[in-house]
Amino acid sequence: MTETFKDRINSGEALYGTMLSMFDTPEMARILKEAGFDWFFFDTEHGYPNTDRLQALFAYAKMSGITGLIRIPEINKTEVFRALDMGAAGIVCPNVETEEQARELVRLAKYAPLGERGVSMTRPHTGFRRLDAAAYMEEANRETVIVCQMESPLGVKNLDAILSIKGVDGVLIGPNDMTQSMGILNQLDHPEYLALVEQVMETCSRHNKFSGISGKNLPALREYAKKGMRLLQWGTDISLLMDAIRSGLQK
Protein backbone atom coordinates (compact mmCIF):
# COMPACT_ATOMS: atom_id res chain seq x y z
CA MET A 1 0.00 0.00 0.00
CA THR A 2 1.35 3.43 -0.97
CA GLU A 3 2.33 5.68 1.90
CA THR A 4 0.23 8.82 2.11
CA PHE A 5 1.46 12.32 2.85
CA LYS A 6 0.22 11.95 6.41
CA ASP A 7 1.92 8.58 6.81
CA ARG A 8 5.24 10.10 5.81
CA ILE A 9 5.06 13.32 7.80
CA ASN A 10 3.68 11.60 10.90
CA SER A 11 6.54 9.11 10.76
CA GLY A 12 8.96 12.00 11.20
CA GLU A 13 10.07 12.44 7.60
CA ALA A 14 10.99 15.96 6.53
CA LEU A 15 9.00 16.83 3.40
CA TYR A 16 10.09 19.61 1.07
CA GLY A 17 7.72 21.62 -1.08
CA THR A 18 7.14 25.02 -2.61
CA MET A 19 4.40 27.55 -3.29
CA LEU A 20 2.80 28.14 -6.67
CA SER A 21 1.14 31.48 -7.23
CA MET A 22 1.52 32.25 -10.94
CA PHE A 23 2.13 28.98 -12.77
CA ASP A 24 -0.98 26.82 -12.57
CA THR A 25 -0.64 24.65 -15.66
CA PRO A 26 -1.24 20.98 -14.82
CA GLU A 27 2.25 20.04 -15.95
CA MET A 28 3.70 22.00 -13.03
CA ALA A 29 2.71 19.17 -10.70
CA ARG A 30 4.78 16.68 -12.68
CA ILE A 31 7.68 19.12 -13.02
CA LEU A 32 7.81 19.69 -9.26
CA LYS A 33 7.63 15.95 -8.61
CA GLU A 34 10.46 15.19 -11.05
CA ALA A 35 12.52 18.02 -9.54
CA GLY A 36 12.31 16.27 -6.18
CA PHE A 37 9.58 18.05 -4.25
CA ASP A 38 7.17 16.09 -2.04
CA TRP A 39 4.36 18.64 -2.00
CA PHE A 40 3.26 22.10 -3.06
CA PHE A 41 0.48 24.49 -2.30
CA PHE A 42 -1.20 26.85 -4.72
CA ASP A 43 -1.73 30.28 -3.23
CA THR A 44 -5.17 31.80 -3.67
CA GLU A 45 -4.54 34.41 -0.97
CA HIS A 46 -2.16 36.46 -3.12
CA GLY A 47 -2.28 34.48 -6.37
CA TYR A 48 -4.74 34.61 -9.24
CA PRO A 49 -6.64 31.32 -9.32
CA ASN A 50 -8.28 29.84 -12.38
CA THR A 51 -10.70 27.18 -11.18
CA ASP A 52 -10.55 25.05 -14.33
CA ARG A 53 -6.76 24.98 -14.35
CA LEU A 54 -6.52 24.27 -10.64
CA GLN A 55 -8.81 21.25 -11.01
CA ALA A 56 -6.45 19.90 -13.65
CA LEU A 57 -3.37 20.79 -11.57
CA PHE A 58 -4.60 18.81 -8.57
CA ALA A 59 -5.67 15.88 -10.75
CA TYR A 60 -2.20 15.79 -12.33
CA ALA A 61 -0.67 16.00 -8.85
CA LYS A 62 -2.50 12.85 -7.78
CA MET A 63 -1.41 11.02 -10.92
CA SER A 64 2.18 12.19 -10.46
CA GLY A 65 2.48 11.20 -6.82
CA ILE A 66 2.96 14.67 -5.35
CA THR A 67 0.68 16.17 -2.71
CA GLY A 68 -1.11 19.30 -3.89
CA LEU A 69 -2.49 21.60 -1.21
CA ILE A 70 -4.20 24.97 -1.56
CA ARG A 71 -3.89 28.14 0.49
CA ILE A 72 -7.28 29.74 0.90
CA PRO A 73 -7.62 33.53 1.36
CA GLU A 74 -9.90 33.25 4.40
CA ILE A 75 -12.01 30.81 6.37
CA ASN A 76 -15.48 30.62 4.89
CA LYS A 77 -17.77 27.96 3.48
CA THR A 78 -17.33 28.93 -0.16
CA GLU A 79 -13.53 28.95 -0.09
CA VAL A 80 -13.13 25.71 1.86
CA PHE A 81 -15.75 23.69 -0.01
CA ARG A 82 -14.50 24.86 -3.42
CA ALA A 83 -10.85 24.20 -2.57
CA LEU A 84 -11.46 20.61 -1.51
CA ASP A 85 -14.04 19.82 -4.19
CA MET A 86 -11.49 20.94 -6.81
CA GLY A 87 -9.30 18.07 -5.65
CA ALA A 88 -6.76 19.66 -3.32
CA ALA A 89 -5.37 17.18 -0.82
CA GLY A 90 -5.66 19.70 1.96
CA ILE A 91 -5.74 23.29 3.06
CA VAL A 92 -3.14 25.78 4.19
CA CYS A 93 -4.89 28.57 6.08
CA PRO A 94 -3.15 31.93 6.55
CA ASN A 95 -2.76 33.70 9.89
CA VAL A 96 -4.71 31.43 12.20
CA GLU A 97 -4.66 33.21 15.55
CA THR A 98 -7.40 31.65 17.66
CA GLU A 99 -8.90 28.35 18.70
CA GLU A 100 -12.21 29.50 17.22
CA GLN A 101 -10.67 30.00 13.78
CA ALA A 102 -9.09 26.55 13.86
CA ARG A 103 -12.34 24.95 14.98
CA GLU A 104 -14.28 26.63 12.16
CA LEU A 105 -11.70 25.56 9.59
CA VAL A 106 -11.98 21.93 10.64
CA ARG A 107 -15.77 22.13 10.75
CA LEU A 108 -15.86 23.19 7.11
CA ALA A 109 -13.08 20.90 5.87
CA LYS A 110 -14.18 17.61 7.44
CA TYR A 111 -17.26 15.50 6.81
CA ALA A 112 -19.51 14.34 9.64
CA PRO A 113 -18.96 13.32 12.37
CA LEU A 114 -15.81 15.49 12.54
CA GLY A 115 -17.31 18.45 10.70
CA GLU A 116 -19.99 19.68 8.35
CA ARG A 117 -18.38 19.64 4.91
CA GLY A 118 -21.05 19.42 2.24
CA VAL A 119 -21.40 16.09 0.43
CA SER A 120 -21.10 16.34 -3.35
CA MET A 121 -19.53 13.19 -4.67
CA THR A 122 -19.28 13.24 -8.47
CA ARG A 123 -16.71 16.00 -8.73
CA PRO A 124 -12.95 16.39 -9.26
CA HIS A 125 -12.07 15.39 -5.69
CA THR A 126 -13.41 11.88 -6.33
CA GLY A 127 -12.09 11.69 -9.88
CA PHE A 128 -15.76 11.70 -10.99
CA ARG A 129 -16.00 8.08 -9.86
CA ARG A 130 -19.05 6.45 -8.34
CA LEU A 131 -17.82 5.63 -4.86
CA ASP A 132 -19.31 4.37 -1.65
CA ALA A 133 -20.02 7.72 -0.01
CA ALA A 134 -19.52 6.60 3.59
CA ALA A 135 -16.20 4.90 2.82
CA TYR A 136 -14.95 7.88 0.84
CA MET A 137 -15.93 10.36 3.53
CA GLU A 138 -14.12 8.31 6.17
CA GLU A 139 -10.98 8.25 4.01
CA ALA A 140 -11.22 11.97 3.27
CA ASN A 141 -11.54 12.78 6.96
CA ARG A 142 -8.46 10.69 7.64
CA GLU A 143 -6.25 11.98 4.82
CA THR A 144 -7.28 15.62 4.21
CA VAL A 145 -4.43 17.79 5.48
CA ILE A 146 -5.13 20.89 7.58
CA VAL A 147 -2.21 23.29 8.07
CA CYS A 148 -2.57 26.48 10.11
CA GLN A 149 -0.10 29.20 9.27
CA MET A 150 1.54 31.03 12.15
CA GLU A 151 1.99 34.63 11.03
CA SER A 152 1.65 36.63 14.25
CA PRO A 153 2.70 36.41 17.91
CA LEU A 154 -0.99 36.11 18.84
CA GLY A 155 -1.24 32.86 16.91
CA VAL A 156 1.79 31.50 18.73
CA LYS A 157 0.35 32.63 22.07
CA ASN A 158 -2.80 30.61 21.32
CA LEU A 159 -1.01 27.68 19.70
CA ASP A 160 -1.77 25.20 22.48
CA ALA A 161 -5.47 25.84 22.02
CA ILE A 162 -5.21 25.76 18.21
CA LEU A 163 -3.41 22.41 18.22
CA SER A 164 -5.93 20.96 20.66
CA ILE A 165 -8.52 20.98 17.86
CA LYS A 166 -8.91 17.49 16.41
CA GLY A 167 -8.32 17.73 12.68
CA VAL A 168 -5.54 20.32 12.77
CA ASP A 169 -2.46 18.44 11.60
CA GLY A 170 0.28 21.01 12.03
CA VAL A 171 1.49 24.52 11.42
CA LEU A 172 3.62 26.41 8.92
CA ILE A 173 5.46 29.54 10.04
CA GLY A 174 5.33 32.45 7.59
CA PRO A 175 8.50 34.44 8.38
CA ASN A 176 7.60 37.53 6.32
CA ASP A 177 4.29 38.22 8.01
CA MET A 178 5.54 37.02 11.37
CA THR A 179 8.49 39.39 11.46
CA GLN A 180 6.35 42.19 10.05
CA SER A 181 3.84 41.76 12.87
CA MET A 182 6.72 41.78 15.37
CA GLY A 183 8.12 45.05 13.99
CA ILE A 184 11.33 43.38 12.81
CA LEU A 185 10.54 42.78 9.13
CA ASN A 186 12.77 40.11 7.55
CA GLN A 187 15.20 40.09 10.49
CA LEU A 188 15.36 36.30 10.51
CA ASP A 189 18.30 36.25 12.91
CA HIS A 190 16.57 38.44 15.50
CA PRO A 191 16.59 36.76 18.95
CA GLU A 192 12.89 37.38 19.53
CA TYR A 193 11.96 35.78 16.22
CA LEU A 194 14.25 32.80 16.78
CA ALA A 195 12.79 32.29 20.25
CA LEU A 196 9.29 32.32 18.78
CA VAL A 197 10.26 29.69 16.18
CA GLU A 198 11.65 27.48 18.95
CA GLN A 199 8.41 27.94 20.88
CA VAL A 200 6.37 26.80 17.88
CA MET A 201 8.53 23.69 17.43
CA GLU A 202 8.30 22.80 21.11
CA THR A 203 4.54 23.29 21.25
CA CYS A 204 3.94 21.20 18.13
CA SER A 205 6.17 18.44 19.46
CA ARG A 206 4.27 18.39 22.74
CA HIS A 207 0.98 17.96 20.83
CA ASN A 208 2.53 15.35 18.49
CA LYS A 209 1.77 17.53 15.48
CA PHE A 210 4.17 18.72 12.81
CA SER A 211 5.78 22.12 12.55
CA GLY A 212 7.09 23.75 9.41
CA ILE A 213 8.48 26.94 7.98
CA SER A 214 8.87 28.70 4.65
CA GLY A 215 12.02 30.34 3.35
CA LYS A 216 14.31 30.98 0.39
CA ASN A 217 17.46 29.73 2.13
CA LEU A 218 17.62 25.97 1.57
CA PRO A 219 20.54 25.33 3.98
CA ALA A 220 18.56 27.13 6.70
CA LEU A 221 15.54 24.94 5.99
CA ARG A 222 17.72 21.85 6.26
CA GLU A 223 18.92 23.02 9.67
CA TYR A 224 15.31 23.38 10.78
CA ALA A 225 14.65 19.85 9.52
CA LYS A 226 17.50 18.59 11.70
CA LYS A 227 15.78 20.24 14.66
CA GLY A 228 12.58 18.36 13.95
CA MET A 229 10.59 20.46 11.52
CA ARG A 230 8.84 18.31 8.96
CA LEU A 231 7.08 20.68 6.54
CA LEU A 232 9.66 22.74 4.67
CA GLN A 233 8.57 25.23 2.00
CA TRP A 234 11.44 26.31 -0.23
CA GLY A 235 10.62 29.53 -2.04
CA THR A 236 7.93 30.03 -4.65
CA ASP A 237 7.53 29.36 -8.34
CA ILE A 238 8.58 32.95 -9.06
CA SER A 239 11.55 33.11 -6.68
CA LEU A 240 13.00 29.75 -7.70
CA LEU A 241 12.80 30.62 -11.40
CA MET A 242 14.31 34.07 -10.94
CA ASP A 243 17.10 32.79 -8.68
CA ALA A 244 18.00 30.08 -11.19
CA ILE A 245 18.14 32.60 -14.05
CA ARG A 246 20.24 35.08 -12.06
CA SER A 247 22.61 32.36 -10.91
CA GLY A 248 23.09 31.12 -14.46
CA LEU A 249 23.68 34.56 -15.92
CA GLN A 250 26.25 35.42 -13.26
CA LYS A 251 28.44 32.42 -14.09
pLDDT of res. 124: 72
pLDDT of res. 132: 86
Backbone angles phi, psi at 132, to 5 degrees: -65, 115
Nearest to 167 by CA among 75, 104, 230: 104
Exposure pattern of 130-148 as b/e (b: 16+ CB <10 Å)? Answer: eeeeeebbeebbeebbbbb
pLDDT in tens, 170-204: 999 999 999 999 999 999 999 999 999 999 999 99
Q: Three-state SS for 142? A: helix
Indicate the fold that domain 5-250 takes in CATH: TIM Barrel (3.20.20)
Locate the domains of the chain by residue range: 5-250
Nearest to 170 by CA among 240, 87, 232, 127: 232
Nearest to 172 by CA among 74, 41, 48, 73: 41
Q: Is 46 a catalytic residue?
A: yes
**Residue 128 or 106, more confident:** 106
Q: Report the percentage of the chain scoring pLDDT > 70.
A: 99
Tell me the mean pLDDT in the region 113-129.
83
Beta strands 90-93 and 145-150 are parallel
Q: Is 84 left (phi over 0), alpha (psi -120 to 50) or beta?
A: alpha
The neighbour count for residue 41, using CB atoms within 10 Å, is 26
- AA letter at 187: Q
The catalytically annotated residue of 46, 125, 190, 207 is 46
pLDDT band at 47; cut points 50, 70, 90: confident
